[in-house]
Structures are given as structure tokens and as C-alpha cells.
Structure 1
């Protein structure tokens, strides 16, 4: 067992971690974990959810998000490490969260979910870069 949100590890560990994040708020639709290279480690959906993207679309979306995270790294020397990125769509909101071990969390939640309340819960659980304070 390798993780507690640092990754590299087994699918059993990432499954437990996805479940832990999924249980933090009722508006969370799904949690995905992937490596810094974009390799999918685990995906968990809330039981009553029908995915909006098929597997191929989800993988493509995650790979593109990982690419954007890697582009942001170019500014980290001056701006500090990225803490999270939120994208609000008409139907859902999605948060991308890099973690210390080099992995990435993707969390999607209902469009009416309060992203700052949910982010506080998630960031309270995740091993993140220093200076990960959220103010609301």
C-alpha cells in the first residue's frame, strides 16, 4: 500500500481513496485518479449517477486536463504550485487537483453544488503542495 493520496500504488488503495472522496458530499458525481502522465488509476461514480461522458470521452478529457496541468507548471516558479482548477459547465462542475505524489484527482459534482464548500472538504483530505489554503 503506497498512497493516502500520493498514489503510485495498487488499484485497491486508489479505490478506497476514491470512495473516501466520493463520500465527502452528496453533490459529488464521480472521482477519478490518474498518474501525472494521464494513466487512469481508478474511477468511481456515485451509485445513482449515469455518466455524462463515455469511457473514451472521459479518458480524452482527463488527458487534456493533465496536459493543462503540465503547462501550468511552467509558471510555478513565480506563482507557486497549482492548488486546483475549477471548470463550470452548464450541467456540472469539475475540479482538477494535483497531489504531491505527482498524481491528479478529478472530481465532478452537480452544477448547483457549492465548489468552495466541496473543495474545502476535498483539500482537507488530500496531500497537496504547500500553501493550499482556500478562503471563502
Structure 2
């Protein structure tokens, strides 16, 4: 997938709901491939801090995947901070190997974040999954 396609996916994710602050995509190692922010929004983390967060988020998703055999497929994981909600969505290949991680930031206090992620964001990612294959 070319960088313009990563950009398009991130921008499409931002458009699915006005409470989404940012959307990023990383590879399996947590290297940021692209990140888009909602228009007019100032990021809370610096570029370096976002890179560090992405690496740790990918590592956590990789660790969670080992429990899928026992617990079932993970849809997403979320953390609720005072200033925002962070969610990570694993994108795996057909063998359940981590390929990409989608990292979302939503406005703090977004009560319907689960519905947004499960009802809007994940279906879009599934629709675009074949585009993510290199």
C-alpha cells in the first residue's frame, strides 16, 4: 500500500464521526505509516511522543493476540485519559499475524465511543483490509 493510500484511510476514518480527533496507522513494529488529525485540532503529543506511543501500542496489540485462541478475537483496546480516549485496533493477516495497528484518538467524554469504533470504524477497516496488503 502506498503512503497516499494510508493517508486516504486515515482521513476516511476521521470523517466517520466528529468526535474522532486523529487516526493513524502503524506497521506491525509500531512504525507510524501515516497519521491524520481532525481539521483545526492541535495534537497533545509531540511527533516523538506519538512515535513512542505507537511502538508501545503495537507491542501491546501483539501481546494481546496470543490470548485470542483462548478468549476470542480482539476487536479493539481502549484507554480513557482525562484529555482524550485512545483506541487501538489490530489488523491481522489470514493467519492472525499482526500486520497493522490503527490508533484512534477521540474526544474525552465521548459516551458512544464503542458504537463509533464497532459500528463505523471497524467496518471501514474491514472494507479496506485488502488494500492494506502489500
TM-score normalized with structure 2 length: 0.84
Q: How does 1:1-136 map to 2 (within 5 A)?
A: 9-101=1-93, 102-113=99-110, 114-119=112-117, 120-127=119-126
Distance 1:54 1:67 in 2: 20
Q: Answer whether contact 1:100 1:127 (CA < 8 A) is retained.
A: no
- Unpaired stretches in structure 1, ≥5 consecutive residues: 1-8, 129-136
Distance 1:124 1:77 in 2: 22
Could you say which structure has the higher helix fraction? 2
Q: List 4+ stretches of structure 1 deviating above 2 A.
A: none
Number of aligned residue pairs: give it. Answer: 120
Could you say which structure has the higher strand fraction? 2
Q: Answer whether contact 2:27 2:33 (CA < 8 A) is retained.
A: yes
Distance 2:114 2:31 in 1: 27
1:47 is displaced (CA, Å) by 1.1
- Unpaired stretches in structure 2, ≥5 consecutive residues: 94-98, 128-134
TM-score normalized with structure 1 length: 0.83
